Amino acid sequence: MSPAPDALTLASLALFGLAGGVGITAVGPGGVLPTIGMFLMTPLSPAGVAGTAIVTHVATGALGTAAYTRSGQLRDPVTRRTAVVLSASALAGTPVGVLLNTVVSGRGFGILLACAVTVTAGLVWLRERRTAAAGTVEEAVHVPLAWTVVVGAGVAVAAGLFGLGGPMLSVPLLVVCGIPVLSALAAAQAQSVVIASVGTVGYVLHGSVDWTLAVVVGVPELVGVIVGWRIAHAVPARKLKFALVGTLLALAPYLALRP
């Protein structure tokens, strides 16, 4: 059995959870932060990191879905259709990601996570450029069903592998496809409930969930979800997005080089 983390480590993991929750509903790619925190600061195996992280996203996804339903985005038929397609695709993609995790070494997990973090940072940057180019009014475009399925399945595989929720990759990908930011955020919250639920079952069956750390990270993450939702609706999040990009790019080399 691994030694229990000290108080400083637990406090740091709680801060990773809080920041991750803010990122999930404010900009999308925040769910990777708890995974990064546990990978860097605990002796958990790749499966333990992913399994513990993905458990927290069941609650954050449900809360995010409720928040975006309340603010009206998930009542829109087009957004609701996107959410359904993403969620259905996740049923097939998530188990593949969980299976892949079981054959990845610790070093390989770090390298793959660094690649995912770098790709995410690039997608956030592209999303911000697209949003800025569109001006103050975003107009939705028709996204072919096949593209939505590809996004949903691909995101679910990555999420199952790393223990992520859907918004990390699906939000920037959907925005790049032409879906407005708030609609993309809303649809991704619904998808993350499916990803996290299916992934949790898979990792529990493998005995790869640290429930104590899931609580330490997950409770502040829930607080962050509400804060992030308010930010998304009330505050221009441009600076937050670029801060997230900078943080992810700074962490990527360390993740890849961690022994």
- The pLDDT assigned to 25 comes to 78
127 compared with 93, residue with greater pLDDT: 93
Residue 3 lies in a domain: no
Tokens of 5: 């983390």
Tokens of 220: 């502040």
**Mean pLDDT score, 113-119:** 84
Residue 61 lies in a domain: yes
- The pLDDT assigned to 33 comes to 86
End-to-end CA, the chain: 20
**Mean pLDDT score, 137-144:** 62
Domain extent at residue 23: 10-257
- 216-241 pLDDT, tens digit per residue, is 999 999 999 888 888 776 766 566 66
**Mean pLDDT score, 164-187:** 81
- The pLDDT assigned to 28 comes to 67
Residue 5 lies in a domain: no
- The pLDDT assigned to 211 comes to 95
Q: What share of the chain in percent tops pLDDT 70? A: 87
Rg of the chain on CA atoms, in Å: 17
| pLDDT greater than 70 at residue 170 | yes
**Mean pLDDT score, 243-252:** 76
Residue 132 lies in a domain: yes
Residue 146 lies in a domain: yes
| pLDDT greater than 60 at residue 93 | yes
Query: How many domains does the chain contain in total?
Result: 1
- The pLDDT assigned to 164 comes to 81
Residue 211 lies in a domain: yes
**Mean pLDDT score, 99-127:** 83
- The pLDDT assigned to 15 comes to 94
- The pLDDT assigned to 138 comes to 52
pLDDT class of 190 with cuts at 50, 70, 90: very high
Amino acid (one-letter) located at 149: V
Least confident segment among 1-10, 37-46, 73-82, 201-210: 1-10
192 vs 87: CA distance, rounded Å: 8
Q: Count the Cβ atoms, other than its own, within 10 Å of residue 2.
A: 10
Residue 2 lies in a domain: no
Tokens of 39: 């990978």
Is the distance from CB of 54 to CB of 159 less than 8 angstroms?
A: yes
Per-residue DSSP letter, 2: P
Tokens of 138: 């975003």
Residue 133 lies in a domain: yes
78 vs 62: CA distance, rounded Å: 20
Q: What share of the chain in percent tops pLDDT 90? A: 37
| pLDDT greater than 80 at residue 100 | yes
Is the distance from CB of 220 to CB of 19 less than 8 angstroms?
A: no
